Structure 1
Amino acid sequence: MQLLLPRWLIPVQPRAVLTEHALVVDGSRIVDLLPATTALARYPDAKVLHLPEHALLPGLVNLHAHSAMTLLRGYADDLALMDWLGQHIWPAEARHVSDEFVFDGTLLAIAEMIAGGTTCANDMYFHHGAVARAALAGDFRMVVGCSILEFPTAYAADADGYLRRALDAIDEFRGEALLGFTLAPHAPYTVSDATFRRVITLADELLIGIHCHIHETEDEIAGSLKEHGVRPLERLAGLGLLGSNLVAAHMVHTTDEELALLARHGVHVAHNPSSNLKLASGFARIADQLAAGINVGIGTDGAASNNKLDLFAEMRLAALLAKGHSGDAQALPAWQALEMATLNGARALGWEERIGSLEVGKEADLIAVDLSAVATQPCYDPVSQLVYSAGRSQVSHVWIAGRAVYADHRYLHLDLADVQARARRWQGRICA
């Protein structure tokens, strides 16, 4: 049993900043949250960790990632989305993506995310078993998104092949506490109606989620109008895809009617502000999405289009863009940005009863952020400091399911030298 004594305890739910309070962790779960003096008397044999200048808060949830693509970080920058994909990323993946590539790239991403306070990621890629094994090797909570396309890659020849490999991975890792799975049809422009219908049926049978890029660019919408006569979201609604098990990544270009449709069906949105800007995809109407009652979480997208997996940077950018785009300085305040990066992400994954806030009975996915640095002093409001001033380098401790994985800025289980050596080897192969 461990008793954590931070200067500020930020449970997220409820919205509060608690001082002189303690969090008690036993095994994988939070078992108590109470005044510090009472905790010390009630749990005299507990191991005590003093965090005198720290905020203790839930681990951050990265709602949209392509973890293995860390190995393509900086490979093809400053290009439009379809040029970036068609002329650079997809050809590079065709040459290099394998179980080894995906394991090594995912492990590199996990190391980056843990050090930045992210304890859970909603991934989307190929070689699903390699993603799962990397997550288990890194003691990291991962939702493995099983990518589905119509066209062939080295991983599968067609949609049937991708689906078979997805089902095999789901069976192989069934029961792993840190893992979840989704079916991840890539996008409306790469997946047929028939395949979407199969995805819906299988997701319902397996009681798992669906993860899909939707309305990322204006070109996507124009292409759908030309091919199908309707915008992508209307097409997907007609197929029956929209529901509370769907995480729609990006959703940059939306009408008022589409926002109402998303809200009515309980669709969750993964907002990726840095990637949207870097690929010139546009400005998502996040303030309007939230006002419509849509649950919006925050993602990084892949490191090849960001170029970092930094949810502190994403929180700040999301809040600033919402204000600038809406013309309302009160849009997306710090509290709401923090909720988007924690509880909203957990809710989108169907895990809000497990993670996303510091509540008794939930699993202990926690991070401690040292706010004693010059850049976060003086500290009038720790939530404001976390969103607008703090950086990921101030994360000092990370626990996932109650297990300490990072302490005093050091990895406790990952071999960082080995992770970095793997990345350098891939750089050599890709450059060659």
Structure 2
Amino acid sequence: MTDTSPQPCDLLIEAGWVVPVEPHGVVLADHAVAVSDGRIVAVLPTAQARARFVPAQTVQRPDAALIPGLVNAHTHNPMSLLRGIADDLPLMTWLQQHIWPVEAAVIGPDFVADGVALAVAEMLRGGTTCANENYFFPDVQAAVYKKHGFRALVGAVVIDFPTAWASSDDEYFARAIELHDQWRDDPLIDTAFAPHAPYTVSDANFERIRMLADQMDLPVHLHLHETAQEVADSLRDHGQRPLARLDRLGLVNDRLIAVHMTQLTDAEIHLCAARGVSVVHCAESNLKLASGFCPVCALQRAGVNLAIGTDGCASNNDLDMFGELRTAALLAKAVAGDATALDAATTMHAATLGGARALGLDQRIGSIEPGKEADLVCVDLSALEAQPLHNVLSQLVYATGRQQVSDVWIAGRRKLDARVLVDMDIDAVVANARQWRQRIASLAPL
């Protein structure tokens, strides 16, 4: 005889709409999500949920959409402390004459820790629950993400010149292996290799990365085909376009997280699809730096897994994934000359399950399905600006601001409660950011 008595659960979230992402494009009205031990137990109509579960806590959001936590698939989050210091410049001028000199003057564990803490607070208030990180001092980053209960894929940087993080090739790799070993079994922190870009990493170091990534089954996260100049320089220096060079070195596979990809031929698009490469679209950063336009519609229609990232605050200048969703969708239509390109459901998929898949986390997060970890976000759709509500997915992608995020959970733990951050000293975060502003302002003119 079947036991029909109510089951205990830790949390029951009752929402006006649940957007599970998988199945694609589905919106479930008046549904609830039950959570126990940090995982989703069930997704079912609210009336059935009330009959089936006895929750330790119930959160009722009848005017909200419950979505998977957004995955920011490309970030340099310590650079939140460099927001706005060198605007309106092309990429290489921005990097070589402004960003790299400032970083050389201030970078260190404290800078990285304070920058990540500021970014975590900003991302949580905007509905982001996971970031793909590419910056120096990844050991410090990982510790800060862990402290705040934030999910992250932390990249071990490899670059062909000495930095405050490492002084030689051997030291970069030794530190990378140490990072992977330290965080190997952590429930929130995963690791990757993060070679900066083809123009700053040698063939020998790429081959070393490929060997270790194969052995350790780790993602490889890098900037690729970001500008036309990068492609021209690669043809001059290597006799090959950057993607072809990486393919020669054995790195074009389903572990590759290729960021920007604004300069692609049809053959390169189909190579990425055939090899299982994930492409991260950073629409606003590419626009601001005039780097070019990623052909996301062609990539998506070829079968390439798409993710969305903000890039760093120095080139965006925010970590607002809702803003990025809207920009990505609109830009895709303009670039393709096709109003049907990157529709609302596909854009939401890229920012959630597509991002999770790029990071190798799609079996754990990215959609609202039983068995997955409960990274969940409530978005309030009650305000005047959200009326009338004809289509929830359209509203989320084209007309929602991050200030509408009301509640956030990561692995079932409350991180934002009715717009209030949980267990974060915001006054201290802001004070630290202001101290860095003063210190950076005291340097030579930027």
TM-score category of the 2 structures, normalised to the smaller one: over 0.9
Residue matched to 1:425 = 435
| Per-residue deviation, residues 100-128 of structure 1 (Å, max 9, x unmatched) | 11011011111100100000000100101
Match of 1:412 among 405, 422, 428: 422
Give matches, 1:89-100, under 5 Å.
Answer: 89-100=99-110
TM-score (structure 1 length as normaliser) = 0.99
Match of 1:373 among 383, 386, 401: 383
Alpha-carbon distance in 1 for matches of 2:348, 2:326: 9
Residue matched to 1:234 = 244
Match of 2:15 among 6, 23, 33: 6
Note the C-alpha offset of 1:47.
2.0
Residue matched to 1:294 = 304
Residue matched to 2:272 = 262
TM-score (structure 2 length as normaliser) = 0.96
| Per-residue deviation, residues 377-427 of structure 1 (Å, max 9, x unmatched) | 110111100000000000000000000010100001111111111111111
2:59 aligned with 1:38: no
Alpha-carbon distance in 2 for matches of 1:246, 1:45: 41
Identity %: 51
Residue 61 of structure 1 aligns with an amino acid whose one-letter code is V
Match of 2:83 among 65, 73, 76: 73
Contact 1:12/1:357 (CA < 8 Å) preserved in 2? yes
Residue matched to 2:5 = none
Give matches, 1:265-276, under 5 Å.
Answer: 265-276=275-286
Contact 1:111/1:138 (CA < 8 Å) preserved in 2? no
Name which of structure 1's ranges 204-213 and 155-164 shifts more when overlaid on structure 2. 155-164
Residue 54 of structure 1 aligns with an amino acid whose one-letter code is A
Alpha-carbon distance in 2 for matches of 1:282, 1:45: 50
Q: Any gaps of 5 or more consecutive residues in structure 1?
A: none
Match of 1:146 among 156, 159, 162: 156
Note the C-alpha offset of 1:174.
2.7
| Per-residue deviation, residues 245-278 of structure 1 (Å, max 9, x unmatched) | 1100000100001101111111000100000000
Query: Secondary structure at 1:342's aligned position in 2?
Result: helix
Note the C-alpha offset of 1:159.
2.3
2:408 aligned with 1:391: no
Note the C-alpha offset of 1:45.
4.4
Residue 48 of structure 1 aligns with an amino acid whose one-letter code is T
Contact 2:183/2:191 (CA < 8 Å) preserved in 1? no
Q: CA RMSD in A?
A: 0.8
Q: Any gaps of 5 or more consecutive residues in structure 2?
A: 1-9
Alpha-carbon distance in 1 for matches of 2:114, 2:377: 25
Contact 1:149/1:158 (CA < 8 Å) preserved in 2? no
Give matches, 1:152-191, under 5 Å.
Answer: 152-191=162-201
Alpha-carbon distance in 1 for matches of 2:434, 2:358: 35
| Per-residue deviation, residues 324-369 of structure 1 (Å, max 9, x unmatched) | 1111111111000000000000011111110000000000000000
Contact 1:252/1:281 (CA < 8 Å) preserved in 2? yes
Query: Secondary structure at 1:360's aligned position in 2?
Result: coil
